[in-house]
Amino acid sequence: MFTGLVEAKGRIDSLEKNEDGMILRLNHDNSFNVDINDSVSCDGVCLTVISKDKNFFEVQLVNETLTRTTAKTWKEKEELNLERALLPSTRMGGHFVQGHVDGITTIEGIEHFDKSSTWTFSMNSDIEKYIVEKGSIALNGVSLTVASKHKNSFDVALIPHTIELTTFGNLSIGDNVNVEVDILGKYIENFIGQKK
């Protein structure tokens, strides 16, 4: 479980495809400490650390993950948003993010203001019912608030701090991002569906 509050950016050092999917090696700064078996959100994808050293760690991505997320397009030297799993003592500043990506959305527009910006994302029918204006959504693992909802799209507003701390500064119109809707909506839908 994560909060969607990105702790660091990691740079992809290598990608090694294998029969199970791919092993990804990520470089990071000294302040991002992980241990083997830790769960780490990498651009919103929950992955398990299988090896580590001082400034890097490796994770295994299975074929299911590669099929459902933007991981299939990751390249060497690309930066990813990183967050370690939530501890019981951690402040809950974002929202409950599982790292179980629901799908991929595309950046349709970016409107820049002084230093902040509003980003428009495509919204297909698979996720439309879970997106609520002023509700929470995770995009590339970043906990954000839905600013507005339209027929086939939704907007989020980004403050300068979020753009600087995350990989959003590297993205542009037409790029794809991982999307995870708020888990609470999915649980409620499932519970109500079973009551009928």
In angstroms, the CA 70 to CA 81 distance is 13
For residue 194, the model assigns a pLDDT of 66
- DSSP notation for 162-193: HHHHSGGGG--TT-EEEEEE-HHHHHHHHHHH
Pick the CATH number of 8-84 from 2.40.30.20, 2.130.10.10, 1.10.287.990, 3.40.50.1100: 2.40.30.20
For residue 196, the model assigns a pLDDT of 53
For residue 74, the model assigns a pLDDT of 97
- Return the CATH number of the domain spanning residue range 103-195: 2.40.30.20
CA dihedral 181, 185, 190, 195 (to 10 degrees): -170
For residue 94, the model assigns a pLDDT of 79
Of 54, 8, 2, nearest in space to 164 by CA? 8
pLDDT tens track of the chain, all 196 residues?
899 999 999 999 999 999 989 999 999 987 888 999 999 999 999 999 999 998 899 999 999 999 999 999 999 999 999 999 988 777 777 788 999 999 999 999 999 999 899 999 999 998 999 999 999 999 999 999 999 999 999 999 999 999 999 999 999 999 999 999 998 888 888 888 765 5
- Residue 21 backbone class (left: φ over 0; alpha: ψ -120 to 50; beta: rest): left
For residue 90, the model assigns a pLDDT of 75
The helix/strand/coil state of 6 is: coil
> Domain segments of the chain: what residues?
8-84, 103-195
Q: Which pair of structure tokens corresponds to residue 45?
A: 């994808």
Residue in this structure with the two tokens 């078996």, named with its chain if needed: 37
CA dihedral 107, 1, 181, 73 (to 10 degrees): 30
- Residue 77 backbone class (left: φ over 0; alpha: ψ -120 to 50; beta: rest): left
This prediction has a pTM of: 0.91
For residue 69, the model assigns a pLDDT of 97
Tell me if domain 8-84 and domain 103-195 are identical in fold. Answer: yes
